[in-house]
Structure 1
Amino acid sequence: MKLFKFDKSNGKQISKFNSDFIMSRITQTTKAAHIGCMHLEENGIVGYHQAVSPQLLLIVSGEGLVRGEQEEYFKVEAGDAVSWNKGEWHETKTDTGLMAIVIESEELSPLMHMA
């Protein structure tokens, strides 16, 4: 499990085309990617299981706890990202609810785009 940030402080100012915004890069793939929005209500949980492919969890709102193969939980909140490798055991849970974007692809490489 690896933890990242994709909040404003990790973005880059974009001014091309007369634009004025900050872009936080996440990932790039050339192979198929499954992208979904996950909604965990109060006391929601994604049970402990093995990732079927490399996976990236992007917390958009709310907060929760994540773990990898160790029993140590890490707090996550909006702007945090977590990646798991294919086959890696993991779990996500929340007391108060959270919304997250989930990206799954055999070709995920967030280390190249996020710090």
Structure 2
Amino acid sequence: MRLLTIPQHPIASFGSTGVTMQLLPQAGGTSVHVAHLAPGGTLGRHPAVRRQLFVVVAGRGEVQVDDDPPQVVGPGTLVVWEPGEVHQTWATTDLTAVIVETSEEIDLSD
């Protein structure tokens, strides 16, 4: 067994504010990150490079894709952004989300 410390970095790209990201090691072309957004924080508008799953595990916020109206998200919400979709996230409370980026197909059936 190995115990490691997960690197944690503030994120400012794309006009992001109030965001800290824990970057887990990449495995087989899939990356997993844990995002922490402070109330009022935002992950700024940017295009998804690969398929992106955004899983809210705590807190509340809003997400938007392209110019569509923002959608409210909370614990248990799974957002899927396809490559090229321009999206943004805002936190209305402390928000924690797991972000999975992959080029693989995803089985979204129940």
Change (3 A) 1:92 1:114: farther
**Unmatched segments (≥5 aa) in structure 1:** 1-29
2:39 equivalent in structure 1: 42
Computing the radius of gyration from Cα coordinates, the structure with the larger value is: 1
Matched, 1:57 2:73: no
> How many angstroms apart in 1 are the aligned matches of 2:105 and 2:63?
19
1:84 equivalent in structure 2: 81
- Flag as ranges the 4+ runs of structure 1 deviating above 2 A: 112-115
> How many angstroms apart in 2 are the aligned matches of 1:108 and 1:40?
28
TM-score, scaled to structure 2: 0.70
Alpha-carbon distance, 1:97 to partner: 1.9
Structure scoring higher RCO (CA < 8 A, sep ≥ 6) equals 1
> How many angstroms apart in 2 are the aligned matches of 1:61 and 1:79?
8
RMSD: 1.6
2:108 equivalent in structure 1: 113
**Unmatched segments (≥5 aa) in structure 2:** 1-26
Alpha-carbon distance, 1:42 to partner: 1.2
Alpha-carbon distance, 1:95 to partner: 2.0
Identity of aligned residues (%): 31
- Identify the structure with the greater strand proportion: 2
Can you list the C-alpha shifts for 1:16-36, whole angstroms capped at 9, x where unaligned? Answer: xxxxxxxxxxxxxx9521001
TM-score, scaled to structure 1: 0.67
Tell me how many residue pairs correspond in the alignment.
Answer: 84
